[in-house]
Amino acid sequence: IYAYEVEMAIYDVVWEGNRFFDGYRAFEKVHKASSSITTATFTGLQTDSKVKLRIRAQSYSGFGEWNELVVSTLPPLSKQVDALPLPRKWLQVDVADLVPLHVLEVG
């Protein structure tokens, strides 16, 4: 294996002229690199959506079969509310209660 090729199809739901489109767009090549490159970053993704990725290896005898993976992107960040403070007595733990005591008599 001397190269990898990655294609991506974005899930889309839109009104196009006189019809409604709900599905994956056509695959587009987003990455092709040597086998020594093991990570890639894809930009332009929208939050709270799905994309379909497919990858295949290339060797001197040609391309391999596509392997597909459906990935969901993260939902949009929401306002996070600070957690309610817990009373200190709830947070105090005696480690001696958690660790069993082993006594070994020698001699």
pLDDT in tens, 8-31: 998 888 888 889 999 999 999 988
CB 64 within 8 Å of CB 2: no
Average pLDDT of 35-57? 83
Q: Of 37, 30, 27, give the one whose Cα is nearest residue 3.
A: 37
Find residue 29's DSSP bridge partners. 7
* CA distance to 6, 80, 90, per residue, from 60 (Å): 18, 52, 64
Question: Chain-wide mean pLDDT for the chain?
Answer: 77
pLDDT digits (tens, 9 = 90+) for 65-86: 998 888 877 666 666 666 666 5
Q: Which domain holds residue 15?
A: 3-72
Residue 18 lies in a domain: yes
Greater model confidence, 89 or 27: 27
Name the range with the highest mean pLDDT among 3-12, 77-86, 88-97.
3-12
Residue 49 lies in a domain: yes
Residue 12 belongs to domain with CATH number:
2.60.40
CB 58 within 8 Å of CB 6: no
Residue 42 lies in a domain: yes
CB atoms within 10 A of CB 50: 15
Is 87 a residue whose pLDDT tops 70? no
Residue 21 lies in a domain: yes
Residue 80 lies in a domain: no
Residue 30 lies in a domain: yes
Contacts of 72 (CB under 8 A, 6+ apart): 49, 50
Residue 32 lies in a domain: yes
Measured between alpha carbons, how far is 78 from 73 in angstroms, rounded to an integer? 15
The pTM of the full predicted model, rounded to 2 decimals, is 0.61
Average pLDDT of 47-54? 85
Greater model confidence, 75 or 102: 75
